[in-house]
């Protein structure tokens, strides 16, 4: 009898500690979907770049038309917007189920700590694009996104930490294979999101 009460106490303590410091309503399914959007986006980008009739050059030196650049920009923007909307909607659903609000101190902390490395990287990459140092854009995006995940992982499900580390490694690797930026992008933003999203989905979401 007494024992059961103590066990319940310990469980309550653990639950309260993690609930108050980590945002656990992050949806695994939204990770899977974001990965799929990225893969579709990468496929469209690949078709735009390498089958565009006005495209010339090889993997190392790429010359693309203005229309192709606009098309790539539209693809990238739609992938990002779709991913964010999906993530918000699914996390909101999961939070509602758990009787938690989506906008609370833990989700605020998660967002702030995710955005600091991400925006740092974003501005850095914009400056690089302005200076036309394009070759490092793909590796740096992976690295900074990985660091954002790593930093955010302290405030949400621990698995995000390994997603971050994987992305950083991929980013560093792609620095050696500069011509294959798109491939590493597809691997990092597509395959990694699907794998870790599925892992989190089966671990936390299913019941």
Partner 1 sequence: MKNIIQNINKAFDHRIRLGIMSVLMVNESADFNMLKELLGVTDGNLASHTKALETENYIMIEKQFIGKKPNTRYIATTEGKKAFKEHIEALEKLLSKN
Q: In the complex, what is the shortest distance from the CB of residue 105 to partner 1, in angstroms, rounded to a whole number?
A: 6
Residue 21 interacting with partner 1 (CB under 8 A): yes
Q: Interface residues for partner 1 in 63-102 (CB under 8 A)?
A: 101
The residue range among 14-22, 28-36, 83-91, 124-132 that interacts with partner 1, by the rule CB under 8 A, is 14-22
What DSSP string runs through 110-176?
HHHHHHHHHHHHHHHHHHHHHTT--TTHHHHHHHHHHHHHHHHGGGB-THHHHHHHHHHHHHHHHHH
Q: Which of residues 13 and 85 has its CB atom nearest to partner 1 in the complex?
A: 13
Q: Please, what is the minimum distance in Å from the beta carbon of residue 100 to partner 1?
A: 9
Using the rule CB under 8 A, which residue among 13, 77, 98, 112 binds partner 1? 13
103 binds partner 1 (CB under 8 A): no
20 binding partner 1? (CB under 8 A): yes
Q: Which stretch binds partner 1 (CB under 8 A): 13-21, 59-67, 126-134, 145-153?
A: 13-21
Phi, psi at 158, each rounded to 5°: -60, -25
CA 207 to CA 204: how far, in whole Å?
7
| Class of residue 167 by CB neighbours under 10 A (exposed 0-12, middle 13-18, buried 19+) | buried
1 counts as binding partner 1 under rule CB under 8 A: no
Positions in 110-129 near partner 1 (CB under 8 A): none
Calpha distance 89→120 (Å, rounded): 26
Place of tokens 């794998």: 195
Among 55, 65, 78, 104, binds partner 1 (CB under 8 A): 104
């Amino acid at each position: 009898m007494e024992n059961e009460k103590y066990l319940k106490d310990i469980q309550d303590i653990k639950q309260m500690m993690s609930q108050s410091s980590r945002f656990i309503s992050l949806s695994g399914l939204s990770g899977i979907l974001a990965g799929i959007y990225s893969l579709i986006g990468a496929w469209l980008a690949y078709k735009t770049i390498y089958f565009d009739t006005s495209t010339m050059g090889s993997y190392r030196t790429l010359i693309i038309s203005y229309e192709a650049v606009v098309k790539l920009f539209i693809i990238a923007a739609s992938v990002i917007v779709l991913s964010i909307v999906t993530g918000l909607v699914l996390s909101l659903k999961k939070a509602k189920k758990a009787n938690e609000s989506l906008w609370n101190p833990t989700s605020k902390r998660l967002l702030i700590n995710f955005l600091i490395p991400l925006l740092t990287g974003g501005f850095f990459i914009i400056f690089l694009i302005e200076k036309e140092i394009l070759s490092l854009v793909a590796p740096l995006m992976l690295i900074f996104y990985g660091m954002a995940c790593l930093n955010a992982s302290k405030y949400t499900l621990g698995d995000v930490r390994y997603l971050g580390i994987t992305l950083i490694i991929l980013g560093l690797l792609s620095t050696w294979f500069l011509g294959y930026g798109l491939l590493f992008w597809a691997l990092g933003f597509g395959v990694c999101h699907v794998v870790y999203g599925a892992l989190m989905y089966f671990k936390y979401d299913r019941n």
